[in-house]
Chain A
């Protein structure tokens, strides 16, 4: 049952990551990101229950509050402030990027083989999934034009890094996790301020339009 629940949480984690590539509406992307936060929370809590460690469960709840609650809330506010609700035209079209995601998944599986072989437990066997989401997040980050969807790409990468950390080391010290989470929160706050500024200054957040410097 433990293995199945863990696999299911990982599956949901992967599915939400892939669907981010698929959808064009920014509000849907933010919603998917929140769902991924829920999947990540479930992942950490399942690991915590398995290892009987209240600390890990606490961290899981904290991670959930941040990634499924606060960050999507902040992004939704930025979205409302930003106005336009669609990713206009990604640099790579959606059908191609889905196929690229398939190739990235294969790459992640190939790369994580040595890592899995170090200690083949059910938890480490799911590491390829976290790496796939990491690569997909990076792909979103480099191919999207809107500031907000680039932000989601960045946060996907961060979710994946967190997931990898929990899956491989089975328990990051609380201090480290807190530090990382605060960093991420700070980054999002800064980017939100930036987005609002960009909207105020240029009337949009399409980064390809920003070619010249204003003062």
Chain B
């Protein structure tokens, strides 16, 4: 059954991620008084990009061409191992949070290297900014999930979610609350949303993610866009699973439980996405030099979560 669950997760993330982006854009558009392009627009964009001819800038090497593939590949692997629909993953032996964080970081690093390979000012700037954010995000993810793993007694994400699902009241503790806030901030940072980065600009000098992908075109760009959408949905799904594991199927669950879990996943991620979009409408982007402050704050919260889990247990 575990293979079915993992396949479901990959399919859901692969197909659903652009739709999630569409829902978020639609929510923003409605709140800003625009009609919006509909939730299938990201898929239409991807289809259009896929049909174009693949071109690479003059003078770039294999690093530039391999980066989108590596980004999409690592994200798909993470989608397969993270407990979204089921806690029972075929890769459970290797699927602890360190592996997941490392895979996510590997994708980011690949994209940054690809941006450096173009040799343009924008690419280098975007890469250096991405690395600044990444260097602050990684320890926070590790420390905050470490706080959760102390309760469960294991760093395996499946075990953490199972422990929370068995004892739902344990979410109402300072450990979970502090870790949840820290993880929510790093999720926003990792996926490049307001207030850290503006995903809809191409001309602003403050952009991070968009500066790195400026040189990509055609199918490569489609791959990068698709992978970023998938990262967003995987991280939102992980957030929902860790702190609100209602409906996630446990080990040896039947088809019915898997169906219920899938509906729960779509609902939870959808709600989180809409909340994020609504937040973005009412918030302005932080200036770049304020970003380390925000991330230092989330690191502090994660550290306090670990400390609290030792002393309040």
Contact = CB atoms under 8 A, between A and B. Distances in A.
Q: Taking each of A11, A22, A109, which has the highest tally of chain B beta carbons within 10 Å of its own beta carbon?
A: A11
A64 interface: no
Nearest to B176: A11
A7 interface: yes
14 contacts: A5-B172, A7-B308, A10-B312, A15-B181, A18-B301, A18-B304, A95-B293, A98-B297, A101-B300, A102-B300, A102-B303, A105-B304, A105-B307, A116-B311
Interface in B141-172: 169-170, 172
A14 interface: yes
A68 interface: no
A125 B297 contact: no
B18 to A, nearest CB: 35
A178 interface: no
A190 B311 CA distance: 38
Contacts of A125: 311-312
Nearest to A112: B311
Interface in B280-313: 292-293, 296-297, 299-301, 303-304, 307-308, 310-312
Given A4-B172, A7-B312, A125-B311, A18 B300 contact: yes
B173 interface: yes
Contacts of B304: 14, 18, 102, 105, 132
Contacts of A105: 300, 303-304, 307
A153 interface: no
Given A126-B312, A129-B308, A10 B174 contact: yes
Given A95-B292, A125-B312, A129-B308, A11 B178 contact: yes
B49 interface: no
Q: Taking each of A7, A12, A15, which has the highest tally of chain B beta carbons within 10 Å of its own beta carbon?
A: A7
Interface string A105-116: 110010000001
Contact of A8 (B172, B297, B299, B307): B172
B311 A11 contact: no
B276 interface: no
A141 to B, nearest CB: 19
Given A10-B174, A18-B301, A18-B304, A95 B311 contact: no
Contacts of A129: 174, 308, 311
Interface residues of B, number: 23
B177 A109 contact: no
Contacts of A99: 296, 299-300
Nearest to A5: B172
B305 to A, nearest CB: 9
Given A10-B174, A15-B181, A102-B303, 11 more contacts: A11-B173, A12-B177, A14-B174, A14-B308, A93-B293, A94-B296, A98-B293, A98-B296, A109-B311, A126-B312, A129-B311
A109 B174 contact: no
B177 A11 contact: yes
B307 A109 contact: yes
A82 interface: no
A128 interface: yes
A87 B312 CA distance: 34
Nearest to A6: B312
Contacts of A8: 172-174, 177
B266 to A, nearest CB: 30
User: Which 6 pairs between the two chains have the least Cβ-Cβ distance?
Assistant: A11-B174, A95-B296, A98-B296, A95-B293, A94-B293, A98-B300
Nearest to A8: B172
A12 B308 CA distance: 12
A174 B311 CA distance: 30
A98 B303 CA distance: 11
B300 A7 contact: no
Contacts of A22: 293, 297
Contacts of A95: 292-293, 296
Contacts of B169: 1, 4
Contacts of B300: 18, 98-99, 101-102, 105
Contacts of B293: 22, 93-95, 98
B308 A11 contact: yes
A201 B307 CA distance: 46
A11 B312 CA distance: 10
